[in-house]
Amino acid sequence: MTDFPQSRWWSDRVRQVRATFPHQTSVPQPGLITLSSGTPDFPTPPHVVEAGRKALADGHTAYTPWAGIMPLREAIAEKMERVNGVKVNPGSEVIVTTGTQEALIAILLAFLNPGEEMLIAAPFYDEYRRDAWLAGADLVPVPTSAHNSYELDPATLEAHIGPKTKGIILVSPNNPTAAVFRPATVKAIAKIAQEHDLLVVSDELYEMFVYDDATVTSIASLPGMKERTITINGFSKGYSMTGWRVGYIVADAGLIQAILPIHHGLTICAPAVSQWAALAAITGPHDWFVPVLAEYDRRRRTWMAALDKMGLPYGRPRGAYYILIDITGAGLDSPTFSRTVRDEAGVVIGGGGGAVDPSTLYTVRGAFTSPLDKLEEGLARMARVVERLREKAPVVS
Ligand SMILES: Cc1ncc(COP(=O)(O)O)c(C=O)c1O
């Protein structure tokens, strides 16, 4: 990274931002095998690309309504009722956003005053720290652990509620833990939210990725929860559309009224062409996803088998496409482990956020986003490094 002038009035600010966010975007480098990317390696389905092309040809290149094009809002409402069991009015209860990321920042800006808090199961998606920081809000991590696949314990959650707590951010299926909260857990969280008068933000971005017996319970579908739940979701992961930047917010009309002007202030509207492509994605065929999910599952099993062989514990992934690995046995913290594996084996693995969240200091995040041959090669190389580290520091967790 280029350095910055030490003596300008903004230098302190630059230093503060760099200290708050020490991680920089990692650019894929030739020759390295990346085993922890959050970007699907499958292409956007062709019928979706074609819809984007047609939208361009048809001249859909201007601003859209603040809340997004009506056919897409209608399709989102239809899907919310059919898949998630949540009935919403497309005219007043849906906003199309520039990705799920924008959805969360808009919500935090709309409902939290500086210094107020949201609870979130930890380890959590590192980017949400940046969103909270922008809003002046604090995320309060609620610990979870690998031994029960990072399930959130409602009693632990409740114990973290304080006078500044305004709500709970639920991410299920989860990044980076791959937890999918069980129906009884979600029900207990709903009860806690009602008893303590909390808002719930439910990030369901990975809802299409579930394995074994896991099912996604949309908390907004539970009795009494729609009025206090803001569901956020997007097209990035399930439809391999990370660069198209489309997500959405679904909530009661009263909540939407507070979020809509902020959404407009942030991005005016989601990209018009991308909204038409997203419409094709959500209303089009979904049979193409069956083999895609089977491939992610094959990679998941490959990961688990390799880690079992290396003797590194992990939370069994029930959803999303990640696996959170406990590297205590390798005798290094996660930044050092990541550096060592990259330098010695040409394998990129990281993303645990270890430098900033103590709960991830000895974890790294693997992902199922590399093709099987690359994954097997990367895991074999990583295994050799782990074996060497073990010989040097045979601390088996
Ligand atoms: C849990 C979670 N929420 C939100 C996002 C942001 O997604 P989008 O591309 O829809 O903005 C990500 C991206 O990795 C994520 O993992």
CATH number at residue 88: 3.40.640.10
| 49-63, 171-185, 319-333: least confidently modelled range | 319-333
- Both 292 and 268 in a single domain? no
- Domain match, 107 and 203 both: yes
Q: How far is CA 254 from CA 57, 103, 166, 204, 230, in A?
A: 37, 16, 17, 21, 11
User: Distance, CA 100 to ligand 1 centroid (Å)?
Assistant: 5
Last residue of a domain, one of 222, 254, 283: 283
Q: Find out whether 127 and 295 touch, Cβ atoms under 8 Å.
A: no
Task: Decide if 381 is inside a domain.
Answer: yes
Q: Whose CA is nearest to atom 1 of ligand 1?
A: 175
Domain co-membership, 271 together with 295 = no
Of all residues in the chain, what percent are helix, strand and coil, respectively (each to 5)? 45, 15, 40
- Please name the residues in contact with 75: beta carbons below 8 A apart, sequence gap of 6 or more: 279, 282, 283
- 181 and 100 within one domain: yes
Which of the listed residues 255, 283, 311 is the one where a domain comes to its end?
A: 283
Q: Are residues 344 and 226 part of one domain? A: no
Residues 17 and 82 in one domain: no
Residue among 237, 275, 368 to mutate when testing ligand 1 (max atoms within 8 A of CB):
237
Domain that holds residue 238: 55-283
Among 265, 283, 301, residue at a domain's last position: 283
Residue 45 in any domain: the answer is no
The answer to the question of residue 49 being in a domain is no
Question: What average pLDDT score do residues 242-255 get?
Answer: 98
Other beta carbons within 10 Å of 25: 4
Q: Please report which helix (H) or strand (E) contains residue 16, including its range.
A: helix 11-20
Predicted local confidence at residue 355, as pLDDT = 44
389 contacts 332 by C-beta, under 8 angstroms: yes
Q: Which has more confidence, 23 or 111? A: 111
- Whether the CB of 99 sits within 6 Å of ligand 1: yes
Q: What is the mean pLDDT of residues 75-85?
A: 98
* Segment 113-147, tens digit of pLDDT: 999 999 999 999 988 988 999 999 999 999 999 88
Tokens in use for 48?
Answer: 């979706």
- Answer yes or no: is 371 within a domain: yes
Band the pLDDT of 30: cuts 50, 70, 90: confident
Confidence of residue 350 (pLDDT cuts 50, 70, 90): confident
Alpha carbon of residue 198 to chain centroid: 22
Q: Are 241 and 367 within one domain?
A: no
Flag whether 48 is in a domain: no
Pocket test for ligand 1, best of 127, 174, 216 (most atoms within 8 A of CB): 127
Q: Is 238 in the pocket of ligand 1 (CB under 6 A)?
A: no
The finding on whether 100 has its CB within 6 A of some atom of ligand 1 is yes
The structural domain count of the chain equals: 2
Cα atoms in the 13 Å half-sphere on the side-chain side of 181: 25
Query: What number does the ligand 1 atom closest to the CA of 245 have?
Result: 9
Please check whether residues 248 and 277 belong to one and the same domain.
Answer: yes
30 within some domain: yes
Say yes or no: 152 and 18 in one domain.
Answer: no
CA neighbor of 340 nearest in space, from 41, 348, 275: 348
In the three-class reduction of DSSP (H, G, I as helix; E, B as strand; rest coil), residue 312 is classed as: coil
Question: Is 50 domain-assigned?
Answer: no
Ligand 1 neighbour 221 (Cβ under 6 A)? no
**Residue 353 — pLDDT band, cuts 50, 70, 90?**
very low
117 CB within 6 A, ligand 1: no
- Cα dihedral 379→242→122→94 (10° resolution): -150
Closest residue CA from atom 13 of ligand 1: 38
Quickly state the pLDDT bin for 9 (edges 50, 70, 90). Answer: confident
CATH of the domain at 359: 3.90.1150.10
59 & 138 share domain: yes
Helix (H, G, I), strand (E, B) or coil at 355: coil
Q: Is the preceding omega at residue 22 within 30 degrees of 0, hence cis?
A: no
Judgement on whether residues 310 and 245 belong to the same structural domain of the protein: no
Contact 214, 180 (CB under 8 A): yes
Backbone angles phi, psi at 75, to 5 degrees: -65, -40
Mean pLDDT over 250-260 rounds to 98
Lowest mean pLDDT among 6-20, 152-166, 294-308: 6-20
Q: Is ligand 1 within 6 A of the CB of residue 233?
A: no
Which residues make beta-bridge pairs with 120? 141, 169
144: in domain? yes
For the residues of 173-213, what is the DSSP string, one character each?
Answer: S-TTT-----HHHHHHHHHHHHHTT-EEEEE-TTTT-B-TT
Which H/E stretch holds residue 22?
none
85 with 206, same domain: the answer is yes
Over residues 219-224, the mean pLDDT reads 98
